[in-house]
Amino acid sequence: MLTLIDGIEAFIGRLKAIHPLLPWLVALLLLLPVPHFTANNYQVYLINFICIMIILATGLNIVKGFAGQVTVGHVALYAIGAYTSAVLSTKFGMPFYVNLPVSILAAMIFGVLVGLPSFRLEGAYLALATLAFAQAVEVYIRVTNYLGAASGIGGIKPPEFFGFTLRNYDEYYYLVMPIMLLAVYASFAILRSATGRAFMAVREDPISAASMGVNVRRYKLIAFVMSAFYAGLAGSLYAHMLPGYVHPNNFTVIEMVTVLLMVVLGGIGNIWGGIIGAIIVTIVADITREYYFYQLLLFGAVIVGTVLFMPKGIGGIIDRYFVNRRFVAARELTAVAKRGVVGSASREE
């Protein structure tokens, strides 16, 4: 297993040496035939849903992992993106390529409202404020007839491009998968940028970051808006996926805890870990769907266990392996160099 990981890392390194985008193009080519290896339509649906959850978890990782803001209201922004697309499609007959950017914009506007309390609140207090926002959005949807109330909204049109409609899960996969790869690539670009370094400075110590000239309020708000961008994107993609139906039950506390578990299990601030966490948690949630009433207890216990026994998540374990391996390699190289110096000195004598 370790040899396989080493080989993959070496292969990716060679691709990056040719061009930084080449590994992502290879990943795109490797993922293209995935629907052809599935047994039925439901498995393709699950893969599409995993791609959407990866986008959602990656967005949460930006505000929680990069910037260190404790928010549990991400699912509300996801709901806003989904319902905006649903309303535009069913009430106004707007096409997907209009609904998607409008849904993202709507989520970003509410992202600003969610981010404003972070100026004065931190830790558990900010978590409670964002939780209240998430619950308020869910209740508002349930009691508003225009939004389908407790019945939800159906009949959302599938995406159509140049007269070609994505009528099944296999076709939809070729829309959602490239968008997912692009979203993950963008999160890496954000992390490596000056904005990403500012996020991490705010996460580690806001006072020290402010003393070094970082506008803490500005970057907190940017983190929430970027996170909302991802949530609105995921919500719109979910709304337009077959069967084209959204319901308030898709955006409850259980879904909120599920997304939080993806990030915690994968490793807060670790992008690859968040992807792994999204895949594992989505599959486990699907397998345990028969025990719906116990899912919240199960996921909560996993979050507590991860924090206690694996605080850096799966991504932290992977990072530690590579760090240890580099340390061992450097130590062996130093030992070889020392032996060479000693041997050279002996020959001179």
**What sign for the dihedral angle of Cα 339, 341, 346, 347?**
positive
Residues 105 and 176 occupy one common structural domain:
yes
pLDDT digits (tens, 9 = 90+) for 275-291: 999 999 999 889 888 88
Confidence of residue 338 (pLDDT cuts 50, 70, 90): low
Which residues fall within 8 angstroms of residue 214, CB to CB, at 6 or more apart?
Answer: 198, 201, 202
Residue 304, pLDDT score: 83
Is the pLDDT assigned to residue 3 strictly greater than 80? no
Domain termination residue (choose one: 251, 285, 311) = 251
Residues 188 and 297 occupy one common structural domain:
no
Residues 140 and 241 occupy one common structural domain:
yes
CB neighbour class for 150 (10 Å; exposed up to 12, middle 13-18, buried from 19): exposed
Residues 201 and 240 occupy one common structural domain:
yes
Residues 244 and 142 occupy one common structural domain:
yes
Confidence of residue 54 (pLDDT cuts 50, 70, 90): very high
Residues 63 and 120 occupy one common structural domain:
yes
- What is the average pLDDT value for the chain, to the nearest integer? 87
Residues 25 and 40 occupy one common structural domain:
no
Mean pLDDT value across residues 242-259: 91
* Alpha carbon distance 311, 131 (integer Å): 23
Structural domain contains residue 297 = yes
Residues comprising the chain, all counted: 349
CB neighbour class for 139 (10 Å; exposed up to 12, middle 13-18, buried from 19): exposed
pLDDT digits (tens, 9 = 90+) for 4-48: 566 666 777 787 778 788 888 989 999 999 999 998 999 999 999
Is the pLDDT assigned to residue 238 strictly greater than 70? yes
Q: Mean pLDDT lowest for which of 2-6, 124-128, 136-140, 243-247? A: 2-6
Which residues fall within 8 angstroms of residue 262, CB to CB, at 6 or more apart?
Answer: 53, 56, 57, 60, 274, 277, 278, 281, 282
Looking at the structure of the chain, the number of domains it has is 3
Is the pLDDT assigned to residue 80 strictly greater than 90? yes
Residues 233 and 327 occupy one common structural domain:
no
Q: What are phi and psi of 66, to 5 degrees?
A: -75, -50
> 272: domain range?
253-342
Residues 109 and 22 occupy one common structural domain:
no
Residues 80 and 125 occupy one common structural domain:
yes
State both tokens at 259.
């997304």
Q: Percent of the chain, pLDDT > 90?
A: 55
Structural domain contains residue 348 = no
Residues 212 and 260 occupy one common structural domain:
no
Domain termination residue (choose one: 212, 234, 251) = 251
Structural domain contains residue 347 = no
Residues 236 and 291 occupy one common structural domain:
no
State both tokens at 338.
């020392």
Domain termination residue (choose one: 251, 282, 297) = 251
| Whether the Cβ atoms of residue 50 and residue 282 lie closer than 8 Å to each other | yes
Residue 130, pLDDT score: 92
